[in-house]
Amino acid sequence: MTGGRRRILVVEDDPETASQLVESLATSGYHADLAVNGGDALSRGRSTDYAVMTIDRMLPDIDGIDIIRHLRNDGIVTPALIISALGEIDDRVRGLRAGGDDYLVKPFAFAELLARVEALARRSATVVKETVLRVGDLELDLVSRTANRSGREIELLPREYRLLEYLVRNEGHVVSRAMLLQHVWDLHFDPTTNVIDVYVGRLRRKIDTQQRYPLIHTVRGVGYYVRASC
Amino acid sequence: MLLAKTLRSSTLKLALACIGIFGAVVFALFGYVYWSTVSHIRGRADHAVAAEYSVLQDAFDAAGRRGLVAAIEQRIAEQRLVGGYYLLAEPSFARVAGNLDVWPSGLDGPRGWEDVSVQERKAEAAARVLLRARFDTLPDGYHLLVGTDIGDVSQFAGKIEAALAGGILLLLVLAAVATAAVTRRTVGRIEAINATSRAIMHDGLGRRIPVRGTRDEWDQLAENLNLMLARIEALMGEVKQVTDNVAHDLRTPLARIRGRLEKALGKPEAPHDQALISDVIADLDAVLRIFSSLTRISQIEARDRTAAFRTVNLVEIASEVVELFDAAAEDKGSHLAVAGDGDVPVTGDRDLLFDALSNLVDNAITHGPKGTQIVVEVAQSDSGPVVTVADNGPGIPPHEVQNVLKRFYRLERSRSTPGNGLGLSLVAAIARLHGAVIEMVDNAPGLKIRLAFRRSPASRLQGASV
């Protein structure tokens, strides 16, 4: 969590959910503004430069998707996380097509929401073209798609490489299992099994066994993050 | 197709039976008319011949043979009996008097009645006449024959026979036409009902039987069935609505509880409580997963089939699933492999198909013992693409095969393994959405689950042109 308190626009009409959202975003170092209807959301979205906005699909006066569409038409590119009780893939596709950047289904874990908001906030901050990613003594060569720790090459399957790259790109930030499945496997459903954990476990054995310090860390019940020290 | 159905149709059998009975009745009726008419005409002929004979007998009794000959000549001249024929012959059957030349052959015995064909006197060789004749031997040994032409009777009989044959032929033709029409119509209407029933089993309760507006009994049947379907659909909808609401309404408070627990987890006062809270969150997540699986299944079931479907490669999906579960299988000491290469396209939703295959592979890994061999095979069969997940694990007892597709159903021995009994229901729902047939067979040992897809429209087109 770099920099000062970044501003987030929360568009949510249910008071209970809204207060939980604002509160948990605040404890994570964000300043959250609340808009309880579409008109409010549009005027705030146009006037203030937010890092991220979270938008509920079902508002009393307007579909959340239309808010995004209006803002995008006005040239506002603030990353948008669509939150919806409508879980189906068709809705997700519609939401993303309208200019949403990510999609989260109710009910969600706040840790999941935070992880996604963080990812969107980072995306808006910097897009740097690099050929080598480094975390501690781990190096990822983005051109040859190889990985090494302290110069010793680690053999990875293509998917394991993509998984590691995604974790490293989000260095220091928690990514959830659903985010991994979405970005590494391009799958948009919540696996009901621990298959992702097992997969990460195998990657971890390849990366962290017999090293001076571990790189892949687990946040129980949420997901994983990569950091050079404990 | 329709012809085969028509031939098997019960309506056709009924119609054929009707034709048989009706034909028999017509046959009997004609037969009776024939018999009564012919016997009536013969009766009259017999009567006339008997009267004529007794006149001649009287003449013989009164004036002997000479009187008899005179009476015969007179009666022929006066044409007392129209179409009458007379012959008096010597004991050696040589002609004495009458309008016949030869005593007809085929008359048995000294006297009696007989139908006999004779040669007309002074006529061309071919002109033969059919007679109803009485013949007798007189006391002086001479033979007397009196007969009347019954050619018109046999002509009449021939006409009746022709009419009978024509009538039956006409009956058969008309009946065949009527049967074909009725059977076609009946089979057509029943086929419409059958097609709708199949469509309902396949696509869901949204379909209705077409009503033709003729207000006949078929329309009434269709209307009643449609009303019944509407009622079932409404009830199903209500039940589904209730389940969905329960799932949805419980999810909201559970999600709040989860949020509060997460907040509590952030406060590092008592380490023991922290572990407890983590466990509660994990349990809560399991409950939330059940709810999302349930709502997901009903969403898939309620979904419009065509929306968001694209052409996807089953081989690719199967390979990705195997790759994803490779680590999990390795952990369990099982061996997971994929078979089949190239391109096996289906029209479908990648996420859902991935989810379905994931569930099948996950089941095989979770429920199989250490060292289980699991093979995911993708092949293009004649009827369409087929995905098979085969293992040599414990399998499913044959009587349980249908049960395991039900929601929340779990085999007795699986109670201790993780899972919620929704995985195969989800697979079944996804299969149904894709028009695929799910089949479980004994792999001896183990279980083999087949997902048989229908040919995609494109490949069906290719198949048709070959």
User: Which residue(s) pair with A10 in the sheet?
Assistant: A34, A54
- Pairwise CB contact (< 8 Å): B296 & A89: no
Please give the share of chain A, as a percent, with pLDDT higher than 90. 19
Q: Is A213 on the interface with B (CB under 8 A)?
A: no
Beta strand residue intervals within B323-404, DSSP E? 335-339, 345-348, 373-381, 384-391
B284 vs B298: CA distance, rounded Å: 21
Select the residue from A192, A199, A202, A203 to test the B interface by mutation, using most B Cβ atoms within 10 A: A192
User: Model confidence over A55-108: pLDDT tens digits?
Assistant: 988 788 888 888 998 998 888 888 999 887 665 555 666 777 777 888 887 777
Q: Is A202 on the interface with B (CB under 8 A)?
A: yes
Please give the share of chain A, as a percent, with pLDDT higher than 70. 89
Nearest CA in chain A to B299: A88
Nearest-Cα distance to chain B for A124, in Å, is: 27
pTM of the model: 0.61
A118 vs A82: CA distance, rounded Å: 14
- The mean pLDDT value of chain A amounts to 83
Looking at CATH, the fold of the domain delimited by A132-226 is given as Arc Repressor Mutant, subunit A (1.10.10)
Query: Distances in Å between the alpha carbon of A191 and those of A166, B295, B324, B326, B409?
Result: 19, 14, 11, 15, 20
B127-151: buried (b, 16+ CB within 10 Å) or exposed (e) per residue?
Answer: eebbbbbbbeebeeebbbbbbbbbe
Query: Distances in Å between the alpha carbon of A123 and those of A47, A126, A169, B318?
Result: 21, 6, 10, 32
Tell me the chain A residues in contact with residue B349 when contact means C-beta distances shorter than 8 Å.
89
User: Which residue(s) pair with B310 in the sheet?
Assistant: B348
CATH numeric code, A6-125 = 3.40.50.2300
Q: Is A15 on the interface with B (CB under 8 A)?
A: no
Cα B298 to chain centroid, rounded: 36
Select the residue from A195, A200, A207, A216 to test the B interface by mutation, using most B Cβ atoms within 10 A: A195
Chain B residues whose C-beta is within 8 A of a chain A C-beta are 248, 251-252, 254-256, 258-259, 262-263, 266, 278, 281-282, 285, 288-289, 292-293, 295-296, 299, 303, 307-308, 320, 323-325, 327-328, 330-331, 349-352, 354-355, 358, 362, 366, 420, 422-423
B70 vs B93: CA distance, rounded Å: 19
B335 vs B207: CA distance, rounded Å: 45
pLDDT, mean of each 10-residue run, chain B (466 residues): 69 82 85 86 87 88 87 85 85 85 80 82 67 86 87 79 85 86 84 87 80 86 91 85 74 77 73 80 80 77 68 92 90 90 87 90 89 92 91 84 76 68 85 88 88 70 39
Query: DSSP character for A63?
Result: B
Select the residue from A193, A199, A220, A222 to test the B interface by mutation, using most B Cβ atoms within 10 A: A193
Q: Is A110 exposed, middle or buried (0-12, 13-18, 19+ CB in 10 A)?
A: buried
Q: What's the confidence (pLDDT) of residue B463?
A: 39
Nearest CA in chain A to B290: A192
Q: What number is the ipTM of this complex?
A: 0.74
Least confident of A124-128, A203-207, B393-397, B406-410: A124-128
pLDDT tier at A2, thresholds 50, 70, 90: very low
Tell me the chain A residues in contact with residue B351 when contact means C-beta distances shorter than 8 Å.
89, 187-189
A171 vs A165: CA distance, rounded Å: 10
Tokens 């989260």 found at:
A104
Tokens 């975003």 found at:
A25
B74 vs B91: CA distance, rounded Å: 23
Expressed in angstroms, the distance from the first to the final Cα of chain A is 17
From B132, B135, B83, B75, select the one nearest B110 (Cα to Cα): B135
A226 vs A214: CA distance, rounded Å: 9
Q: Which two tokens stand for residue B336?
A: 């997971």
Q: What's the confidence (pLDDT) of residue B466?
A: 34
Q: Strands B384-391 and B112-119: what pairing? A: unpaired
- Pairwise CB contact (< 8 Å): A159 & B323: yes
- Pairwise CB contact (< 8 Å): B358 & A24: no
pLDDT tier at A9, thresholds 50, 70, 90: very high
Tell me the chain B residues in contact with residue A192 when contact means C-beta distances shorter than 8 Å.
289, 293, 420, 422-423
Domain boundaries, chain A: 6-125, 132-226
Residue in B248, B251, B308 nearest the CB of A89:
B308
Q: Strands B335-339 and B373-381: what pairing? A: parallel
Inter-residue contact A88 to A45 (CB < 8 Å): no
B457-466: buried (b, 16+ CB within 10 Å) or exposed (e) per residue?
Answer: eebeeeeeee
Kindly tell me if the per-residue pLDDT of A200 is higher than 90.
Answer: yes
Q: What's the confidence (pLDDT) of residue A6?
A: 83
- Pairwise CB contact (< 8 Å): B328 & A199: yes
Nearest-Cα distance to chain A for B383, in Å, is: 29
Inter-residue contact B396 to B440 (CB < 8 Å): yes
Cβ neighbours for B14, distance < 8 A, ≥ 6 positions apart:
none
Tell me the chain B residues in contact with residue A111 when contact means C-beta distances shorter than 8 Å.
262
User: Which residue(s) pair with A56 in the sheet?
Assistant: A83
User: Which residue(s) pair with B389 in the sheet?
Assistant: B376, B449
Residue in B248, B278, B351 nearest the CB of A89:
B351
Tell me the chain B residues in contact with residue A201 when contact means C-beta distances shorter than 8 Å.
327, 331
Q: Is A192 on the interface with B (CB under 8 A)?
A: yes
Query: DSSP character for B399?
Result: G
Nearest CA in chain B to A181: B324
Inter-residue contact B272 to B401 (CB < 8 Å): no
Strand order across the B128-137 sheet: B95-98, B84-89, B143-149, B128-137, B112-119
Query: DSSP character for B184?
Result: H
For A96, other C-beta atoms within 10 Å of its C-beta total: 17
Q: Is A49 on the interface with B (CB under 8 A)?
A: no
Nearest-Cα distance to chain A for B289, in Å, is: 7
User: Which residue(s) pair with B394 in the sheet?
Assistant: none
Residue in A187, A202, A221 nearest the CB of B281:
A221
For A63, other C-beta atoms within 10 Å of its C-beta total: 18
Which domains occur in chain B, in start order?
10-155 (3.30.450), 217-302 (1.10.287), 310-465 (3.30.565.10)
Residue in B248, B308, B422 nearest the CB of A90:
B308
- Pairwise CB contact (< 8 Å): A88 & B299: yes
- Pairwise CB contact (< 8 Å): B259 & A20: yes
Tell me the chain A residues in contact with residue B330 when contact means C-beta distances shorter than 8 Å.
202
Q: Is A9 exposed, middle or buried (0-12, 13-18, 19+ CB in 10 A)?
A: buried
Q: Which two tokens stand for residue A22?
A: 């604002």
